[in-house]
Amino acid sequence: MSEKNPNISIYFHVHLVSDSTGETLVGLMKASTAQFRNATALEHIHALVRSEAQMEQALDLIGSKPGVVLYTVVNPDRRKRLESFCAERRIPAISVLDPTLAMLGRYLGASIISEVGAQRNLDAEYYNRIEALDYAMAHDDGQNVQGLAEADIVLLGVSRTSKTPTCIYLANRGYKAGNIPLVPGAPLPIILDQYKNPFIVGLVASPDRIVQIRQQRLMGLKQTQQTDYIDQDRVRDEMRQAKRMFLKKGYKVIDVTRKSIEETAAQIINLYKAHHDSL
């Protein structure tokens, strides 16, 4: 339908049923629906469905607003109830982890543990992520520069190169990351050259994109006066100096102009791993 009528918006119900937090389903649904132009999913999240009563409540809404059902339900009785309900009403439903689990089971020659929320266990990896998030907030925007000696990754870049959100994303992956802004006329902290542990990455972007983001930022702050902060020539010079400095220091450089935070972080992690593999 969408190919014949490319300008028609399609709205449809998506029910995400999980006996855990439902984050896996939300991420998969967003990634999948993004591939269909003009398709808008009306999300209904049924999380922590761990009793028959909660399942029946979810089924009531699914029945009243039929669409597509994605689910991760471990309990066999509740899973069977959901599948039977959808089959009787011809509502498309899929257990999103089944293909992956089946493939891994065949490869490993092992059976799954069938534990609700197994991926959310409060293990060492979980606490490492919490510690990394605390670290990112304490070492954001040039704070506590001396503490960056303990960082895994340090990001450098002019204003509006997405340093902070990238550090937060890296922290969610368990990496201790901090960032230092490049300010015109202000040298980098000398102590940075003494650090041996952090992997340092320079972030750059097209001057036009930086100006656009800065203008939006000032508009959000209701500041409309023309300043050097959004002057095209000044911003172009900032970027030139940043690139020259990164080259001189031998830092890895990533252009974030057309990259999402996730893509930038993934590239940083790949560079980080390659660097440590070469040591």
> What six digits make up the tokens of 164?
């902070």
Q: What is the pLDDT of residues 211-238, one digit of tens each?
A: 999 998 888 888 878 888 999 999 999 9
Predicted pLDDT of residue 88: 95
Decide: 38 and 47 in contact? Cβ < 8 Å. no
pLDDT tens-digit profile of 60-88? Answer: 999 999 999 999 998 889 999 999 999 99
The candidate with the shortest Cα–Cα distance to 219, out of 184, 238, 227, is 227
Q: Which residues contact 158 (CB under 8 A, 6 or more apart)?
A: 181, 182, 210, 235, 238, 239, 242
Where residue 185 falls (left for φ over 0; alpha for ψ -120 to 50; beta otherwise) is: left
Is residue 118's pLDDT more than 60? no
- pTM for the model stands at 0.63
- The CA–CA distances, whole Å, from 105 to 70, 95, 223, 267 equal 21, 16, 58, 30
CA atoms within 13 A on the CB side of 177: 24
d(CA 3, CA 7): 9
